[in-house]
Each structure stands twice: as structure tokens, then as C-alpha cells.
Amino acid sequence: MKLDDISLEGKCLRLSEVVEDVALPKTADAQYPGSHCAFRTVAGILPLIKNSYGLLLGPAICLYNAKLTVNIRSLTSDPRPNNLLFLTYSQDDIIFGFHKKVREAILEVDRKYHPEVLFLVTTCLQEIIGEDFDASVEEIQRMVKARLLVIHTDNFTCEDAAPGIENVFLSLSELMEPQETVEGSINLLGFWTSKAKTTELARLLGSEGIKIKNAIPSYCSPEDLSRAPGVSLNIALDHFALKLAKKMKEMFGTEYIYCERPYHPDSIELWYQKIADASGIDLDLKVADLKRETEELISQAKGSFSGKSCALFGQPGRTLDMAFLLSELGIELKAIMLHRLLSDDYRDAQKLLAEGIDPLVFRGDNALQTEKLLSTLRPDICIGCRDYGVLARQGIEPCMLIPSHFKLGFEATNEILNLMRQEPAGFWALRYKEQLLNNGAV
């Protein structure tokens, strides 16, 4: 495959060329305000904390983008409640400072909505002006019942949303209080959907007398959070949550392990082993049974997928382990959309490379470039891409994995195999539209 004739040259690397824990090369300076804008991303996370409101402060366009993100999500199979409030800044606020307006807004929100927690999310604007937002909020804190938590999102200082997301996780530690440790209880950190307690992991742990006390953020309440330190173990499922795990260790001495979401059965087996070891239980037999079932499903699925090609978009946890699963199904991996390689990814990358699998990796800072790459590579399937319009235009089959995010362990992989056979709802309409256009409709 040749990339020389398109504007992507030098922006796509082979996996074998990528170094550990370094952001992939930036593909555009003007970036699509998606996952790169912490303000927008944080707006999407705050609804996951019960009894909270988020007050988003910034210029109208930033607020609009945040609102749009939340609205778009409300149309997916993982909608979140809307707990966001917006405060626009005018030129006067920039000149004279935000303090007075912010104070009035906080007092009003406290009076009208009675949130237990009120997140105050900044945009680049305050950060550039450099007003001491934290100190001014500290002063207001004395006047309100709501617990005020400031989330800084100074996007111009970084290339992705990670610092903003980490700030949300770290702010949650401020709600926590020292607790007596309840033996045989754990927290899942970095579980981004509801239903953590019905996952396969929860069932397996439960069968050995270990309870999941909290899943964070996962619609936990401030009260849940205040008691969260009273567990014998924190399991951090992603690197954002790892920050919180480390903070809780520092503040309360809570032990933690870091086990990113796996996808390949061998990896899931090791993942369970690590969790079992840290919890002092033995899950080997149960895990072996589940693994056998999943392997069975994989070998059945090979018939439908073998020989197809795909592009894979970043997934929760170990994206490259998912790539390994796909290659196991006989799918040729043409490209993986990733922002950076973390240490686990690096190990997974070595595994792929050892099998002679060396796909392109691409950061895709700009939606047009991503479409260009897809139209150049022409994969049969696109996994995890949410821009169905592009896929319909390019004649690529979409695969939507959101329901698998509600699951953990082999069941997640089983769900993925299931979802790969389904077309996302409504996609036929987009395809029909493309057909009409191709047939000369205006």
C-alpha cells in the first residue's frame, strides 16, 4: 500500500517504529475538538458522578462544543444524565476578572439545585489570564453547602485531554475520608459505565466472597466516594484511574493493582490471575471454563471474519490486545488509531510484532485526515469509529462496541464477537443516502 501520494506521509508510522510512552506524531496543528479538548471530555465525565452538577465556565463556543458532546452521547447506547450548567464569559469578565460572576453563579446553583458536589470546570481562557481561580473558589466554599471542586482544563499546554481527565479523578480523592478497611472488598477505578456489579469480574470475585464496593466513576455518589478508601484493594482499569489509585495509596494507604482491560483470552486469563493473586483467592478453574467458552466462540467466528481487513479505533484499556484478538480471528489489521503507547500497549505491540503484524498507527488529529486514510486503506470493517457518515461514504462496515464497555472479562470479548456481526442501528439509512447520492441525487 502506498501513502506517498496523499497528505498523510510522515504522519502514519508503522507500529514497529513507535516508542513506548511517547505521543504519536501530531498529524495536524488545527485539531478536531474531539478527544483532544479536555474541556469537552470532562463535560462528558461529570454526569457519571451522582448528585453532582458541573458548572462549565468559558467562551460560548467552548460551552457549545461541550453541550454538543453530551447531546450526541445521549443518542448512543450509553447515554448519560445531563447535569451540566453553563456560564458564558464576556469581555467584561475577562477584563475585570471572573470572581464576582462565578460567585453569583455558584450561589445560584447551590440555592436552586442543591448539588452535593459542584464541579467547576475552567477553559483555556481563565488559565491564560491566570486569575487564581482555586483561591477565589475556596472563599466561596464557605458560603455554600455544595462541595466545590475545581477542574482545570488548560488545553493549550498539552496535546490531549488526559490532564483534564486525570484532574477529575484526582478531584474525587478530595471527597474521600479515612475508613476502617473492610477485608474482602475492592474498588474498580476507571469503570466508565453503569452496572459494574453485574460484570463477570464481579460475579467471579463474589463467588469467592469478595465484594466490589465502588466502581468509579460509574455513577457513584459523593457518599460512596467518601467511603471509598475502606477497601483492601483498588483495581485501576486505565491510566487515568491509576492516578487516583496512586493518590489513594498516598492519602489512605489503600493498596492497588493496575490491570488495564484485556481482550484476548490469554490476556484475560493473566488479568484474572493478577487480580486473584492480589486478592488472595484462586479463580483458576472458573477462569479456565470461561476461557474455553470464549476460545470456542472465537474459532466459530473465524469463518465469518477470516480474510477481512479492518481499521481499529482506540478502545478502553488495551487497544493493541484487541488488535491481537482481531488477528486471531484472521482479520488483517490495516491501521490502528491511537494517541500514545502506554507501557501495557508497548508489551502488546511486541506481541503483535512477534507475529509479524505491523499495522500503521495514526493519531488522526483531524477528521478529514482520518477519512482520507480510510479511503486510501479501504478496510472492510472499521471498529470503534463513531463517524458513521464517513463509513457510509467510504463503503466501510461499521462495528460499534459500546455495549461491551459495560462488561469485564471474557464476557466483554464474547460481546465483541457478537457485536461484530451486528450493524449499528440506523446505519442502513446512511448507506441508502450514499446510494441516492451516487445515483445522481442532489
Partner 1 sequence: MKKIAIYGKGGIGKSTTTANVSAALANLGYKVMQIGCDPKADSTSMLMGGRPLPTILETLRNKNNSEVALNDVVFRGFGGVLCAECGGPTPGMGCAGRGIIASFEKLASLNAYEIYRPDVVFYDVLGDVVCGGFAMPLRKGYADEIYIVTSGEKMSLFAARNIARAVDQFKGWGYAQLKGIILNARGVAEESELVKRAASEIGTDVVAEIPRDPRIQVCEEKNMTVIEGEPDSSLAETYRRLAQKIVD
Cβ 337 vs Cβ 275: under 8 Å: no
Only segment of 94-102, 214-222, 289-297, 411-419 that touches partner 1 (CB under 8 A): 94-102
CB of residue 57 to partner 1, shortest distance in Å: 14
Write phi, then psi, for 148 (nearest 5 degrees).
-100, 130
Cβ 60 to partner 1, closest distance in Å? 17
* CA 24/CA 10 separation, integer angstroms: 11
Examine residue 129 and tell whether it contacts partner 1 (CB under 8 A). Answer: yes
423-429, long-range: CB < 8 A, 24+ apart: 423/397, 423/398, 424/388, 424/398, 424/399, 424/400, 426/388, 427/388, 427/391, 427/392, 427/398
Q: Does 97 bind partner 1 (CB under 8 A)?
A: yes
Residue 256 in the binding site for partner 1 (CB under 8 A): no
CB 4 within 8 A of CB 339: no
The nearest distance, CB 102 to partner 1, in angstroms, is 11
Q: Which is nearer to partner 1, 3 or 129 (CB)?
A: 129
Are the beta carbons of 318 and 345 closer than 8 angstroms?
A: yes
β-strands 231-236, 332-337 pairing: unpaired
Q: Does 156 bind partner 1 (CB under 8 A)?
A: no
Smaller CB separation from partner 1, 129 or 158: 129
Residue 220: CB partners within 8 Å, gap ≥ 6?
Answer: 49, 50, 214, 228
Q: Is residue 96 within the footprint of partner 1 (CB under 8 A)?
A: yes
Among 86, 98, 191, 263, binds partner 1 (CB under 8 A): 98
The count of other CB atoms within 10 Å of the CB of residue 286 is 16
Q: How far is the CB of 266 from partner 1 (least distance, A)?
A: 56
Which of 29, 91, 156, 180 touches partner 1 by CB under 8 A? 91
Site track for partner 1 across 44-83, x = CB under 8 A = ----------------------------------------
| 93 is an interface residue for partner 1 by CB under 8 A | yes
Measured CA to CA, the distance from residue 113 to residue 169 in angstroms comes to 23
Query: Of 83 and 126, which has the nearer Cβ to partner 1?
Result: 126
| Piece in contact with partner 1 (CB under 8 A), picked from 129-137, 161-169, 397-405, 413-421 | 129-137
Residue 92 or 180: the one with the smaller Cβ distance to partner 1 is: 92
Tally of CB atoms within 10 A around 88: 15
The residue among 72 and 135 lying less far from partner 1, judged by its C-beta, is 135
Which of 94, 144, 251, 402 forms a contact with partner 1 (CB under 8 A)?
Answer: 94
**138: contact with partner 1 by CB under 8 A:** no
Select from 55, 70, 123, 131 the one that contacts partner 1 (CB under 8 A).
131
**Within 13 Å of residue 45, how many CA atoms lie on the same side as its CB?**
28
- Residue with Cβ nearer partner 1 (131 or 200): 131
Q: Nearer to partner 1 by C-beta: 132 or 277?
A: 132
How many chain residues are in contact with partner 1, going by CB under 8 A? 12
- Cell numbers 502506498 correspond to 2
CB of 147 to partner 1, least distance (A): 25
Choice between 101 and 308, CB closer to partner 1: 101
Should residue 89 be labelled a site residue for partner 1 when binding is judged by CB under 8 A? no
Structural contact between residues 203 and 283, judged by C-beta atoms closer than 8 angstroms: no
Among 92, 142, 354, 356, contact with partner 1 (rule: CB under 8 A): 92
Binding range to partner 1, per CB under 8 A, among 128-136, 141-149, 263-271, 378-386:
128-136
Segment lying near partner 1 (by CB under 8 A), choices 127-135, 235-243, 271-279, 285-293: 127-135
Return the number of the residue (53 or 133) whose C-beta is nearest partner 1: 133
Q: Which of 19, 95, 425, 442 binds partner 1 (CB under 8 A)?
A: 95
Contacts with partner 1, residue ranges (CB under 8 A):
91-99, 129, 131-132
